[in-house]
Amino acid sequence: MSATLEAPVTDQDEPGRLLLATAEGDTAAFEQLYRATSPRLFGVCLRIVSQRSEAEDVLQEVFTNVWRKAKQFDPDRASAITWLTMMARNKAIDHLRANRSSRMSVAIENAEELVETGPNAQAATEMALENRRLDVCLGELEAPRRQLIRTAFFEGNTYEELAQRSGTPLGTVKSWIRRSLVKLKACLER
Amino acid sequence: MNTPYLPEDQEPRDGDVLAGEYVLGVLDASDRRRVEQLIESEPAFAAEVGFWESRLVSLAAEIAPVPVPDYVWARISSDLGLAQAARRGPVSEPESESFWQKLGFWRLLTAGGFATAAVFLFALLNVIRVPQPADPVAPPVATVPEPVTPSGPTEMASTLTQDDGQPGYVATMDAATGRITVTPLQPAADDDLVPELWLIPTDGIARSLGVFDETVSQSARIPEEYVELLSIDAILAMTLEPPGGAPGGKATGPVVAKGGIQLLAMAP
């Protein structure tokens, strides 16, 4: 595998610059943006859509969308990495919703192990900075609720699926997550 | 801000919680569509979504990057017509070269891809080896051109993989005899176009190995000057071209399959 495909995002502004150039129809910038960010976005897609060929389809859709919608990117509202990551997540979740039956179900107790948390995982500096605050705020939640929030984020599960996987009534899961979101928001705004 | 309300939910919740649920990814498909309409129509709600996105995105930093197979970019650039745009450029010569130089990326197939291809090839080789027409007059040794690597294996093979990762064609070559056999496995369906095979050595310039049949295994002679370019550093690519082959010897159609070349160590 080529080293260029795994190029780390060393300059935080680089994806932003490339994305703005992509919006102007710069194909070389678009390809550079792809080389710089696709491994990270592919990781995001694969976490939600575990089937590899499907995750590749989603990634293709993501970048096709990036090319077409790059003009909608507003650096004042979101960083390029946030914009790209959320587009990848949304496409992956939509794919998952449309193909729900193919989804394998893993009990929540085991799901946490699937998430890599090594030092290398902190590579995206911009996200890591924000992570400290989120970590603190997630830490203020009770452990089972924190795990529920994390599982929801990483797996892209619906309330129904979370209820099924955790063996908890649907109403309880909904109210746990909603209350957790209220607490999280209050903490993040502090 | 006002409180967007989803009719299907038992309990209404504040817009910031709904925005959080959307970004967290717990809503079902129909709620997601409704939320996306809200994002379009209510700037205050869109700002709430932006808040959650900028905070929760940091969880994604925990996910390790995963290398992407090269054919995904080939698919994207082909879908968006980027390769065609490059080839239509005003300065045709360097533009078309740069297109073909991109094929270098395709050389870097994943190890898994190679392994699968190799297994597949060896299984197939026993089936498709086309008997060479023997020349009864000339002594057999004299008619054989000098092999490129006289002491090493001269037989090579390539699985040309489609964008979806499936094998599209298998090519077997013998540098000693200068012959190539191409077997279509999953022909690219196009009534008006024919598959043309290209040899792309390390210089990145594509040389045509001819037009092949879309339905049956077909054998052909490799142009003499190209035989020595056959190596594990070269790749093969199949494009769809007008009947009779690419005009002017330059590929014009989409690349439908490509693959690296392997040396075959055959038992004597």
pLDDT tens digits, B51-107: 999 999 989 988 999 999 888 998 998 889 886 555 443 333 333 333 343 443 333
Interface membership of A27 toward B (CB under 8 Å): yes
Do A168 and A144 contact (CB within 8 A), yes or no?
no
Whole-number pLDDT of residue B203: 79
Among chain A residues, the shortest Cα distance to B102 is held by: A31
CB contact under 8 A, B70 and A159: no
Using CB atoms, pick whichever of A67, A89, A97 lies closest to residue B29.
A97
Alpha helices in B68-110 (DSSP H): 70-79, 82-87, 92-101, 103-107
| Residues in a beta bridge with B196 | B211, B239
Among chain B residues, the shortest Cα distance to A157 is held by: B26
Burial class (CB in 10 A: 0-12, 13-18, 19+), B266: exposed
Of A40, A62, A24, the residue nearest A122 (C-alpha): A40
| Tokens standing for residue B246 | 């690419």
With contacts defined as CB-CB under 8 Å, which chain B residues touch A62? none
Inform me whether the pLDDT recorded for A72 exceeds 60. Answer: yes
Interface membership of A97 toward B (CB under 8 Å): yes
Half-sphere exposure of A36 (CA within 13 A, CB side): 21
> How far is it, in rounded angstroms, from Cα B50 to Cα B218?
58
Q: Where are the beta strands (DSSP E) in B96-241?
A: 155-161, 167-174, 179-184, 194-200, 207-211, 218-221, 235-241
Q: What is the pLDDT of residues A85-140, one digit of tens each?
A: 999 999 999 999 998 644 445 544 444 443 444 333 334 455 555 567 898 999 99
> How far is it, in rounded angstroms, from Cα B65 to Cα A38?
8
CB contact under 8 A, B63 and A118: no
With contacts defined as CB-CB under 8 Å, which chain A residues touch B28? 97, 158-160
Whole-number pLDDT of residue B14: 76
CB contact under 8 A, B63 and A89: no
pLDDT band at A24 (very low <50, low <70, confident <90, very high): very high
Kindly report the pTM of this predicted structure.
0.56
Q: How many residues does chain B have?
A: 268
Using CB atoms, pick whichever of A56, A127, A174 lies closest to residue B57.
A127
Using CB atoms, pick whichever of B53, B73, B86 lies closest to residue A86.
B53
Sign of the Cα torsion B30, B35, B39, B41 reads positive
With contacts defined as CB-CB under 8 Å, which chain A residues touch B64? 43, 116, 118, 120-121
Using CB atoms, pick whichever of A60, A128, A131 lies closest to residue B76.
A60
> How far is it, in rounded angstroms, from Cα A40 to Cα A124?
9
| Residues in a beta bridge with B207 | B199
The residue whose two tokens read 């079902």 is B28
Q: Which of B136-140, B153-157, B171-175, B243-247 has the highest mean pLDDT?
A: B171-175
Residues 6+ apart with CB under 8 A from A91: A45, A58, A61, A62, A65
> How far is it, in rounded angstroms, from Cα B215 to Cα B221?
19
CB contact under 8 A, B16 and A181: yes
Query: Integer distance in angstroms from the first to the last C-alpha of chain A?
Result: 44
B153-165 average pLDDT score: 83
Helix axes A27-48, B70-79, angle to 10 degrees: 120
Using CB atoms, pick whichever of A38, A53, A131 lies closest to residue B68.
A38
Whether the ipTM is more than 0.90: the answer is: no
Do B230 and B156 contact (CB within 8 A), yes or no?
yes
Q: Mutate which of B58, B77, B107 to test chain A, going by most A C-beta atoms within 10 A?
A: B58
Distance from CA of B58 to the nearest CA of A (A): 4
Answer with the residue of higher pLDDT: A53 or B134: A53
Strand B235-241 relative to strand B255-260, pairing = antiparallel
Inform me whether the pLDDT recorded for A52 exceeds 60. Answer: yes
Q: What is the pLDDT of residues B100-149, one digit of tens each?
A: 434 433 333 333 344 444 444 554 554 444 444 444 444 444 444 444 44
Residues 7..26 of A with a Cβ closer than 8 Å to B: which?
Answer: none
Distance from CA of B131 to the nearest CA of A (A): 37
Do B262 and B172 contact (CB within 8 A), yes or no?
no
